Amino acid sequence: MNIDSLNRVHFIGIGGIGMSALAKFFLFRNIEVSGYDKVCSSITKSLSKDGANIIYEDDLSLIKSKDEIDLVVYTPAIPSDNRQLDYFSSSRIPFHKRAYILGQITKTYHTIAVAGTHGKTTTSSIIAHILQYNKLGGVSFLGGISTNYNSNILLQDGNNAVVEADEYDRSFLKLFPNMILLTSMDPDHLDIYGDNQSLIEGFKLFTALLENKNKLIVQEDLNSHFNDCLTYGFHKNSSLSIQHIRIQKGGYFFDVIYKNKLYVDFEFHLPGKYNLLNAAGAILCGFEMGLDAEQIKNSLASFSGVKRRFEVHYDKNDIVYIDDYAHHPKEITALVNGLRDFYPKHKIIGVFQPHLYSRTRDFMHGFQEALSLLDQLFLMPIYPAREKPIKDVSSENLLIDIALESKSVLNNEDDLFLSLKQQSKFVLVTIGAGDIDLLINPIKTFLHENF
Q: pLDDT tens for residues 357-412?
A: 999 999 999 999 999 999 999 999 999 987 899 999 999 999 999 999 999 999 88
pLDDT at 2: 85
Sheet holding 139-146, edge to edge: 151-155, 139-146, 160-165, 110-115, 179-182, 216-219, 230-233, 240-248, 251-258, 261-268
SS (H, E, C) 107-154: CCCEEEEEECCCCHHHHHHHHHHHHHHCCCCCEEEEEEEECCCCEEEE
> Pick from 17, 197, 174, 9: which is nearest to 103 by CA?
174
Between CA 277 and CA 334 the distance in angstroms is 11
Between CA 114 and CA 122 the distance in angstroms is 10
The stretches in the chain having pLDDT less than 50 are: none
pLDDT at 308: 85
Between CA 181 and CA 52 the distance in angstroms is 33
Between CA 25 and CA 122 the distance in angstroms is 20
pLDDT at 188: 67
Rounded to 5°, the CA angle 76-383-196 comes to 65
Asked if 191 and 123 count as a contact pair (C-beta separation under 8 A), the reply is no
Look up the pTM and report it: 0.84
HSE (side-chain half, CA atoms, 13 Å) at 98: 27
pLDDT at 186: 78
Rounded to 5°, the CA angle 145-146-148 comes to 145
Residue type, position 346, single letter? H
Residues 251-308: tens digit of each pLDDT = 899 999 999 999 999 999 988 888 999 999 999 999 999 999 999 999 999 999 998 8
Partners of 146 in the β-ladder: 151, 306
Asked if 323 and 440 count as a contact pair (C-beta separation under 8 A), the reply is yes
Q: Where are the beta strands (DSSP E) in 251-406?
A: 251-258, 261-268, 311-316, 319-324, 347-352, 376-379
CA distances for 125 relative to 100, 122, 145, 164, 276, angstroms:
22, 5, 9, 9, 14
pLDDT at 250: 75
Sign of CA dihedral 356, 325, 194, 17: positive
CA distances for 68 relative to 8, 64, 336, 416, angstroms:
7, 9, 51, 52
CA distances for 408 relative to 321, 377, 380, 402, angstroms:
19, 7, 9, 10
Sign of CA dihedral 219, 224, 226, 230: positive
Q: Where are the beta strands (DSSP E) in 325-414?
A: 347-352, 376-379, 407-409
